[in-house]
Amino acid sequence: MGKKDELHTLFDRIAGNVLAKYRTNMDGVSQEDLARIAGVHRQWISRVETGKSESSLYNFFRYADAIGIDIVEAVKDIRDEYVKEAKPIMMAAEDAKYRKYLEQAKKKRLR
């Protein structure tokens, strides 16, 4: 599989931020606590929370369940933040595609 695209990277960062936000809002739950309960290494939790590593939806659910996060609310938070942050990226990509199309059309007319 190739390099992750910008939207995929954005999603991973947002999902990790949401996990970190919920975890830190719970009194006394550290990354180490979450890691121990979820059966993973603390460094992995750190990498997921900072968006440096992706976590499958299954694992995100495991982490959420391990510390009692309302998964529906967490997924809504991820969706809301992703929609807000992804829109400019998607618009820029569409603008670039449109500019490329116009350039190609101009070249065809000049032939």
Show pLDDT as tens, one digit a residue, over the chain (111 residues): 444 688 888 999 999 999 999 999 988 889 999 999 889 999 999 999 998 888 788 888 888 888 888 999 999 999 999 989 988 888 888 888 878 877 888 777 776
Q: Which two tokens stand for residue 2?
A: 């190739």
Q: Quick check: is 45 in a domain?
A: yes
**Separation between Cα atoms, residue 22 and residue 81, nearest integer Å:** 14
**Among 37, 68, 65, 32, CA closest to 49:** 32
- The DSSP output letter for 3 is P
Specify the pLDDT at position 1.
41
Q: Quick check: is 54 in a domain?
A: yes
Q: Quick check: is 79 in a domain?
A: yes
Residue with tokens 């890691």: 35
> Which residues form the domain of 20?
6-110
Count of domains forming the chain: 1
Q: Quick check: is 1 in a domain?
A: no
Residue 106: CATH number of its domain: 1.10.260.40
